[in-house]
Amino acid sequence: MIKLTIPGQPIPLARPRFFGGKVVDSQVAVKNGIRKLICSELVKIGVMSSAGMPFKLLETYCNCAIHVDLTFGMATAKNLSKTRKNSLLGDSSHNCKPDLDNLIKFILDCGNKLLWSDDCMISEIHARKIWCDSPHTEITMQHIPVEFNTT
C-alpha cells in the first residue's frame, strides 16, 4: 500500500478547450506541478529515487487491478466566524463546488505513468471531500491481485 499527501487546494479537471479545430489542454503546467509534488512525495517514502527512477512501482502495479482511496481536504472560507468554521470542520461533508468527479479525474490524470501505467487499471475507487484547515489531497493505493480464468 502506498499513501501520499499532496499539500495545497485540490484542483478540478477543467473542460477541454478547442482552438483551431484542435483540443488544447489548458492545465498542462498545473498538471506538471502536481506531478512534481507526487514525485517528491514518492522520494520521501522511498518508492522513487531522487533521480526520478521508480523502485519497481510500475512493475508492482502494472499487471493488476488497483484500489484508490482519495480524500480532498477543502479549505474553509477565511471570512467565516470561528463558530461556523469549527462546525464545518467537525462535519466531513463538503457539498460545494468543485465537483468530486472533476477532482478525481484531475488526480487520476496526474498519476498516469507515475503511480500506475494508465488510469484504466483502477478498478475500485473511494473518494470524499472534507472541510479542513490545511487544504490537501490524500492518495492511498493498493494493488488487487487478479486471477485470470483461462478455461
Confirm whether 19 is domain-assigned: no
Task: Give the integer Cα–Cα distance in Å for 61 and 54.
Answer: 12
Confirm whether 37 is domain-assigned: yes
pTM of the full structure? 0.81
Band (53; pLDDT cuts 50, 70, 90): low
Confirm whether 22 is domain-assigned: no
DSSP 23-49: EE-TTHHHHHHHHHHHHHHHHHTTSB-
Question: What is residue 22's predicted lDDT score, i.e. its pLDDT?
Answer: 86
Confirm whether 32 is domain-assigned: yes
Question: What is residue 101's predicted lDDT score, i.e. its pLDDT?
Answer: 94
User: For 2-16, what is each residue's pLDDT tens digit?
Assistant: 899 999 999 999 887
Number of domains in the chain: 1
Confirm whether 20 is domain-assigned: no
Residue 89 above 80 pLDDT?
no
DSSP 103-114: HHHHHHHHHBTT
In this structure, what C-alpha cell is assigned to residue 59?
512493475
Question: What is residue 45's predicted lDDT score, i.e. its pLDDT?
Answer: 81
* Averaged pLDDT for residues 37-65: 68
Percent of the chain with pLDDT over 70: 83
Q: Apex CA 80: angle with CA 77 and CA 85, to 5°? A: 90
CATH of the domain at 121: 3.30.1330.70
Confirm whether 23 is domain-assigned: no
Helix or strand holding residue 68 (H, E):
strand 65-75
Domain encompassing residue 45 = 2-12+28-144
User: For 95-121, what is each residue's pLDDT tens digit?
Assistant: 788 999 999 999 999 998 888 888 888
Question: What is residue 17's predicted lDDT score, i.e. its pLDDT?
Answer: 81
